[in-house]
Structure 1
Amino acid sequence: MKKLFLTAILTVGAATVQASPQTVTLDVPGMTCAACPITVKTAISKVAGVSKVDVSYEKRQAVVTFDDAKASVQKLTQATENAGYPSSVKR
């Protein structure tokens, strides 16, 4: 009986902690050449929880899809800054 009760609690607990995919567009104005997006994409891709990254040199932007239980906008902008490309959320 205790095992069944514990299993029920764990199942309910796991169900309430669901991640939600988020998509954010980051402005990355410091990209000055066609090679820059490679560095930006690599840096963002290394953040745990990131599932998709599209970087546009022409728009100076990165569109990032991530799991909000593992990553945050702050972690994404920190990753670009650490790579030498400060970014901010597009407004």
Structure 2
Amino acid sequence: MKNQKPNNSDTKWMGAGLLAAFVASLCCITPVAAFLAGIGGVGSTFAWVEPFRPWLIGITALMLGFAWYQKLKPQWDPECACNTNPSFWQSKTFLGIVTVFTAVLLAFPYYSGAFFPNQEESTIVYVQESHVETITMDIEGMTCAGCEASVENAASGVEGVLEADASYDTGKATIKYDRSKATKDEVIAAINKTGFTVKTQSNQQE
């Protein structure tokens, strides 16, 4: 008779897959966690993980796939003619929960920006055209939308900043500010406090 026997290795594969997914998302979890906790200087701590992210995702898929294979394949135990009921932690339900949570975790970089304030919801500010200046900066450490939002939020927090736009694809941030109220150094210092580093910058007066 076929028998689904509890297998502790299933739990190990689930845990390993979940850990790999967590590590793969650290580069984007860290900026959000730092923002929510009000901790500066750690935003880019795990930026080095980004090049390994595809490999970690692959490892996660393999581990969870093997866990599902172990869970679904029929097993024969000649010494037992009964069906053994596994505990919740070894059940398909728990494996399903882990799989869904892992998928949400791996997708974190695509929705991490939602944890930051909406920069579009701002009041109208009237500024003399001669006072408006735009600075474009190369930012080191941005790897996802959460990193972009972290840089934009930090720059927008400086009084006098009118617009802030960052892109992890280009590694650049463009900041428009009122130079009668803010300085380039203040904007750079605010961004550097997040843990991301301003490497070079260029100014353009409007």
TM-score range, shorter-chain basis?
0.7 to 0.9
Whichever structure has more strand as a proportion of its residues is: 1
Contact 1:77–1:88 (Cα < 8 Å) also in 2: no
Q: Normalization by structure 2: what TM-score?
A: 0.34
Please point out which of 62, 69, 75 is paired with 2:186: 75
Report the alpha carbon displacement of residue 30 of structure 1 after superposing the two structures with TM: 1.2
What does residue 53 of structure 1 align with? 164
Instruction: Give CA deviations for 1:39-73 in whole Å, capped at 9, x if unaligned.
Output: 00000000000001111110111100000011111
Whichever structure has more helix as a proportion of its residues is: 2
Does residue 64 (structure 1) correspond to residue 190 (structure 2)? The answer is: no
Contact 2:155–2:191 (Cα < 8 Å) also in 1: yes
SS in 2 for 1:79: helix
Q: Normalization by structure 1: what TM-score?
A: 0.73
Identity score, percent: 34
Number of corresponding residues: 74
Report the alpha carbon displacement of residue 33 of structure 1 after superposing the two structures with TM: 2.7
Structure 2 gaps, min length 5: 1-127
- Structure number with greater CO (CA < 8 Å, separation at least 6) is 1
Does residue 25 (structure 1) correspond to residue 136 (structure 2)? The answer is: yes
Does residue 90 (structure 1) correspond to residue 90 (structure 2)? The answer is: no
Contact 2:162–2:178 (Cα < 8 Å) also in 1: yes
Q: What is the letter of the counterpart of residue 44 of structure 1? A: A
Structure 1 gaps, min length 5: 1-17
SS in 2 for 1:69: coil
RMSD: 1.6
Distance 1:73 1:88, change over 3 A: farther
> Which ranges of 4 or more aligned residues in structure 1 deviate by more than 6 Å?
none
Q: 2: CA distance between counterparts of 1:88 and 1:51?
A: 22
